[in-house]
Amino acid sequence: MMPRGNISMLQASMLLIMAIGLDNHVTVIPLLLNTAQKDSWMSVILVAPLCILWTLLPYSIIRKTEQTNIMTWLRSHNYNLLPPVIALVVFPFFFINAFITLKEVIVWTEVSYLPQTPMLATTLTLLALCVYSALKGIRSIAIIAGLLLPFVWLLGYFVMAANFQVKRYDLLFPVFRTAGFSGIASCMLYAASSFVEVFIIIFMQHSIRDKIRWYHLMILVFLLAGLTVGPLTGAIAAFGYEAVLIRYPTFEQWKLVRIGDYVSHVDFLSIYQWLSGAFVRISLMLYMTAELFKKGKDTKSVRAVPILLLAGALLVLACLPAINDFDYLKLAKWYYMGSFIIIITVSTVLFAIIMWINRKKGANI
């Protein structure tokens, strides 16, 4: 069966880079530094090849299901109980993912440039935009991601080049001196949990009109690894051991930018990067949640109920009193560990079920 989706593979790739890249580029960096300190960048490099090889698993699922809706494919083979079970297992991943992204960007907004603005106002504004985009569908989200990503990428290279004069990359060495085996292993796990988020493509494969190739997923993970190593090594080179103590090391690198003697304080450009990534990521999580529980034709009215319910829950939770950073990092560690387990388990079980169904179908023929 040939794919009949409404977005190209290029659009899907840009969408995933924007959505997952925010996690790699911003959210996970403090956690990696806190876990393995100066050796955190080596942990990312060590785990990236394993994650690139792992992409053969979701690719096999996509190929065996002929790039159709995974839930519809299971129902068409008389496994009607599996889709709701999968939805209930994957739903917490999408929901907590959206919550952590929303909470992170709202708290950062409050402490950095809008300290006097009520949290309810900023949360409601961002959520309203995300809900509108999710209701419009994945094509709308993909087009927005395609428009935003080039400028986000250019700004990333700009801050890297502008700060090159103040960075000391010799601080990255020697390696394996500041973290023990347990710290490096934990750091590898946290980094891997963000890389393997590429498995989302399994649940959006039917929306892609191009045939998905094995190297598409490998290139995606490779690019995501680069989005992690870049700001991580940059933070260590710029701030040394103090990078561990900085709450938002990626944002702080913007404060170092100076162009000549008269231009500085261009950190406002980072607002574009953060909000672009958060907008695309939350919109995608809302849309994918609606996809999990969808039956029949995909319409705005069908998507509206789960999207609005999820957005309402996110609004309430995000406006609850903020926890301190120590508790937040503990929660983040549990989240990344849990998301890694969910992704690996679901992808492995799905692969086993689909292989068994295809083998059984072949035997019947």
| Residue 7 per-residue DSSP state | B
Please report the pLDDT score of residue 122 as a whole number. 93
Say yes or no to pLDDT of 365 above 60: no
pLDDT, tens only, 297-348? 655 667 888 999 999 999 998 888 766 666 767 777 888 888 899 999 999 9
- 77, 102, 103, 124 from 321: Cα distances, Å: 47, 14, 11, 16
The arithmetic mean of pLDDT across residues 84-112, rounded, is: 90
Please report the pLDDT score of residue 98 as a whole number. 92
Range of weakest confidence among 137-146, 220-229, 243-252: 243-252
Please report the pLDDT score of residue 248 as a whole number. 87
Q: Cα dihedral sign for 85, 59, 98, 328? A: positive
- 56, 72, 274, 298 from 301: Cα distances, Å: 36, 19, 30, 8
Please report the pLDDT score of residue 3 as a whole number. 53
Residue reference for tokens 């963000």: 194
Q: What is the CA radius of gyration of the chain?
A: 21
Mean pLDDT rounded to a whole number for the chain: 88
Pairwise CA distance, residues 177 & 175, whole Å: 6
Pairwise CA distance, residues 156 & 274, whole Å: 11
239 burial (CB, 10 Å; 0-12 / 13-18 / 19+) is buried
Identify any residues that bridge with 208 across adjacent strands, giving them in sequence order. 7
Please report the pLDDT score of residue 322 as a whole number. 62
Say yes or no to pLDDT of 2 above 80: no
pLDDT, tens only, 41-95? 999 999 999 999 999 999 999 999 999 999 989 988 888 888 999 999 999 999 9
Pairwise CA distance, residues 65 & 83, whole Å: 14
The arithmetic mean of pLDDT across residues 91-116, rounded, is: 89
pLDDT, tens only, 174-205? 888 877 778 888 899 999 999 999 999 999 99
Pairwise CA distance, residues 259 & 265, whole Å: 10
77 burial (CB, 10 Å; 0-12 / 13-18 / 19+) is middle
Please give the domain boundaries of the chain with CATH numbers for all domains.
9-364 (1.20.1740.10)
Please report the pLDDT score of residue 131 as a whole number. 95
Q: What is the largest CA-CA distance in the chain?
A: 76
Question: Beta-carbon neighbour count of residue 312 at 10 Å?
Answer: 12
